[in-house]
């Protein structure tokens, strides 16, 4: 009996073991099958919970660039609970910006939305929808149009003159100055004047207040973005950035209410000589026949974007431009010679000179290639689609590493080097002074070459590129025309890049300006 019982128990156990083994084999087979269905891009080995966070340094674009060298130009990266497809070359950027443009026209969430008071009306983060299309049209045909930019050329010049006066004074006194602070103030005042005809020194410090608010939000933006790594826990605002951002946004809201009211009062009285961006938007808001109703929140959200998107990016670009020229004295000399030859010493560089200054154009272009002001661009896909042969499920987060794309060694010779000459052809005679910028390169500035994407691309590309280009060329041209810049201690500048939303320099750009053409004597 006992023997029969042991034998039957053995059979039962064997049966159970075989069942388990079969179950395991079927389970593994199913997993493999499902993995085959979801064909995923390469990804570095990940750790539980934190994913690849341990592989990411303080500058994510540089970490992604290094990882791409090993895992390829299309990777899957898990930063805590947040998963992103990371693009690092021009061919795949083209698939996003061109082939699948409309599908990637949404932005992913950026921290907890509970703290965002303009959630559905902030142009840069709202989904691609009718309101976004309407606002984009207003940007491109009205407030950031080439016509509006040239209408305010005198305002750009006035702001420029303030900075020039300051540099001339430093030169006379032999003082060093923080060039970055001056350029930041200049771009902030400029954007404030274009938007609402106000500047720091003349209008109850509204633009200084806006500067402080924008600076605070830009600082918090990095932390808000980092909140994504907590997944659904982000709504608890574990880093506290959401609450701080909301306080700043409420301050901004109140300030804008006052500015809107002033504009409405002025409109009632009438007789304003020139319409600023606020006047244009208020007119559209009051227009009963407009395609869509533009609300006060829509106006505020758009302007917040212009303050955030336009100030740091442009002044950071200018700083890198000067810094690169100071570290490349031959390029600096060549640029000064070009400006002296084309413009001469009796007037300042003007917008109309830019087409005749190919080396200046090449310097600006190369600066934005090596130091894109926004090194990472975030998108979300609206439907399932295929990129680089992989199926990307709807609502996936995609990061375009502009920094890596612009420095791709397969596309650019000596990709990390600052070489403005790379865009130039000799238009005849073999002399350097007959250089011209390649026609293709002008197209590239408009986002048609996907290996060079400092302004992003497709319908969601930067709407301020025209204004940025106008400010960068003219300001850099005048600063180089009027001054020799001496570095403190006559050393090379440290080009280390800082952490943050825009890729600013870690070390302030401290220089001694030395007048070579006095702008106050020749201002035209």
As a whole number of angstroms, the distance between CA 463 and CA 425 comes to 29
Instruction: Convert 250-314 into a string of H (helix), E (strand) and C (coil).
Output: HHHHHHHHHHHHHHHHHHHHCCCCCCCHHHHHHHHHHCCCCCCCCCHHHHHHHHHHHHHHHHHHH
- Mode of pairing for the β-strands spanning 390-392 and 385-387: antiparallel
Minimum distance of ligand HEM from residue 399's CB (angstroms): 11
Residues that bind ligand HEM (CB under 6 A): 123-124, 191, 305-306, 309-310, 313-314, 317, 368, 372-374, 377, 402, 454-457, 460-464, 467-468
Tell me whether residue 464 or residue 519 sits nearer to ligand HEM (CB atom): 464
Distances (CA, A) of 464 to 140, 196, 376, 460, 503: 9, 17, 17, 11, 17
Q: Judged by CB, which is closer to ligand HEM: 229, or 277?
A: 277
Tokens in use for 85?
A: 């497809």
Which is closer to ligand HEM, CB of 392 or CB of 517?
A: 392
Partnered with residue 400 across adjacent β-strands are 87, 377
* CB closer to ligand HEM out of 313 and 401: 313
Least Cβ distance, residue 105 to ligand HEM (angstroms): 8
Question: Greatest CA separation found in the chain?
Answer: 118
Q: Quick one: 110 or 512, whose CB is closer to ligand HEM?
A: 110
Question: Using CA of residue 352, residue 353, residue 359, residue 363, what is the dihedral sign?
Answer: negative
Query: How many whole angstroms from its chain centre is CA 287?
Result: 33
The length of the chain in residues reads 524
Residue 88 C-beta: closest distance to ligand HEM, Å = 15
**Least gap, CB of 310 to ligand HEM (angstroms):** 3
Q: How far is the CB of 372 from ligand HEM (least distance, A)?
A: 6
Closest contact distance (angstroms) between CB of 107 and ligand HEM is 6
Helical axes 179-196 vs 206-226, angle rounded to 10° = 110
Q: Work out how close the CB of 442 gets to ligand HEM at its nearest, in angstroms, rounded to a whole number.
A: 17
- Residue 81 or residue 155: which is nearer to ligand HEM going by CB? 155
Nearer to ligand HEM, 342 or 465 (CB): 465
């Amino acid at each position: 009996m006992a023997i029969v019982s042991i034998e039957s128990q053995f059979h039962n156990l064997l049966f159970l073991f075989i069942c388990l083994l079969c179950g395991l084999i079927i389970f593994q087979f199913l997993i493999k099958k499902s993995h085959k269905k979801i064909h995923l891009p390469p990804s570095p080995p990940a750790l539980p919970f934190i994913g690849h966070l341990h592989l990411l340094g303080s500058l994510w674009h540089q970490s992604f660039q290094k990882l791409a060298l090993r895992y390829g130009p299309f990777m899957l990266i898990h930063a805590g609970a947040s998963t992103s497809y990371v693009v690092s070359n021009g061919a795949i950027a083209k698939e996003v910006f061109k082939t699948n443009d409309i599908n990637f026209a949404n932005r992913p969430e950026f921290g907890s939305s509970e703290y965002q008071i303009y959630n559905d009306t902030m142009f840069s983060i709202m989904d691609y929808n009718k309101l976004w299309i309407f606002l984009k049209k207003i940007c491109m045909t009205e407030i950031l149009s080439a016509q509006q930019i040239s209408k305010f050329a005198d305002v750009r010049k006035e702001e420029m003159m303030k900075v020039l006066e300051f540099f001339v004074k430093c030169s006379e006194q032999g003082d060093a100055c923080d060039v970055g602070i001056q350029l930041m103030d200049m771009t902030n005042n400029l954007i404030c004047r274009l938007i609402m005809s106000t500047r720091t020194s003349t209008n109850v410090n509204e633009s200084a207040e806006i500067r402080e608010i924008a600076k605070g939000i830009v600082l918090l933006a990095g932390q808000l973005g980092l909140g994504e790594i907590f997944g659904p826990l982000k709504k608890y605002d574990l880093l506290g950035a959401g609450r701080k951002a909301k306080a700043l946004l409420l301050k901004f809201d109140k300030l804008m209410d006052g500015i809107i009211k002033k504009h409405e009062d002025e409109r009632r009285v009438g007789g304003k000589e020139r319409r600023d961006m606020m006047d244009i938007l208020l007119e559209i808001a009051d227009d009963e026949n407009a395609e869509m109703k533009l609300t006060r929140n829509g106006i505020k959200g758009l302007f917040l974007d212009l303050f955030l998107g336009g100030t740091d990016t442009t002044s950071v670009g200018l700083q890198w431009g000067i810094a690169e020229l100071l570290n490349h004295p031959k390029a600096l000399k060549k640029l000064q010679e070009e400006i002296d030859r084309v413009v001469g010493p009796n007037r300042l560089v003007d917008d109309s000179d830019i087409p005749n200054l190919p080396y200046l154009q090449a310097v600006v272009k190369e600066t934005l290639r090596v130091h894109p002001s926004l090194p990472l661009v975030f998108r979300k896909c609206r439907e399932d689609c295929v990129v680089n042969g992989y199926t990307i499920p709807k609502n996936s987060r995609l990061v375009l590493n502009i920094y890596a794309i612009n420095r791709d060694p397969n596309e650019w010779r000596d990709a990390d080097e600052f070489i403005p000459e790379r865009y130039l052809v000799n238009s005849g005679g073999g002399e350097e002074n007959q250089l011209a910028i390649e026609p293709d390169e002008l197209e590239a500035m408009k986002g048609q070459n996907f290996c060079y994407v400092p302004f992003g691309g497709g319908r969601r590309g930067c709407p301020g590129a025209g204004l940025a280009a106008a400010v960068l060329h003219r300001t850099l041209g005048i600063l180089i025309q009027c001054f020799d810049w001496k570095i403190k201690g006559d050393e090379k500048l440290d080009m280390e890049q800082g952490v943050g939303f825009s890729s600013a320099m870690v070390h302030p750009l401290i220089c001694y300006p030395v007048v070579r053409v006095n702008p106050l004597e020749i201002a035209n």
